[in-house]
Amino acid sequence: MATLAEQDARSRGQEHVIPKNYLLALLEEGEGFGWDLMRLIGIPLDQLREELNREPGHPGEPTNPAPAATSHLTHMLQVAHAESTAMGAEHLGTEHILLGLAADGSGAGQVLARWHATPDRIRAEIHGILTLTSHECPPPREQPVEPPIAVPNDIHELGELIDRLRKEKEIAVDNQDFEAAAEIRGAEKDLLAQRADRIREWSSQIDILALVQELVTLRHQIARLHQLAATQGIALPAEVHDVRPGTEAPS
């Protein structure tokens, strides 16, 4: 996300990276826990992006090829790290970045507050999700569990196209070809919108409560496997891990 924020600042001709660039980077990513939280709170993401883009700042070649961080950005990141530590997370996630942005007093926080995305509200939503996924699971089923829900191939393909465009955009920015970077960015935004629409269409057909229960069951089965392995002195491979908000799966 830091790379996306710096690219956004450079494409706007800014000499400094500010919290607004991180909020725009979060929107541009189009995925992650922080992005999901904004949708859960009810923020119209397209309107938020338009509002941020209407604020002062014009695209152009930056006077500084490597924009520096401002004191507001430093404070925002300090808050994000503090929230991550307080939640016992193993890494800094987009949900913690969103909390830091909501606490920012230089502009990004004020914009989020207009959509009721305050630190208390965001923290409450995170707590609710973590509480839901930490409930004790029911006894194992006697019947085989249905195969996990497969994400449609076209959504995967859109994601691969977006990844390729992001790499091309990074190369264009590194070469200071800002006109090409702007064109690639426009194409990337179109694909992000297409993928978001497709995900909404696909997810509307999913029984979310049933899916969450399956995830909770799986998480507890993994925990029991870890306990059993530990009693036998067996070290499980890295692929066997606990996946939940605030933890990072191995790459």
- Taking only the tens place, the pLDDT of each residue in 196-230 is 888 878 777 766 666 666 777 777 677 767 666 66
**CATH 4.10.860 is held by the domain 150-206:** yes
* Architecture of the domain delimited by 1-119: Orthogonal Bundle (1.10)
Q: What is the pTM of this model?
A: 0.53
Q: What is the pLDDT of residues 117-139, one digit of tens each?
A: 899 999 988 887 776 555 444 44
DSSP 63-129: SSSSPEEPHHHHHHHHHHHHHHHHTT-SS--HHHHHHHHHT-SSSHHHHHHHTT--HHHHHHHHHHH
Domain ranges for the chain = 1-119, 150-206, 209-251
- Rg of the Cα atoms in the chain: 20
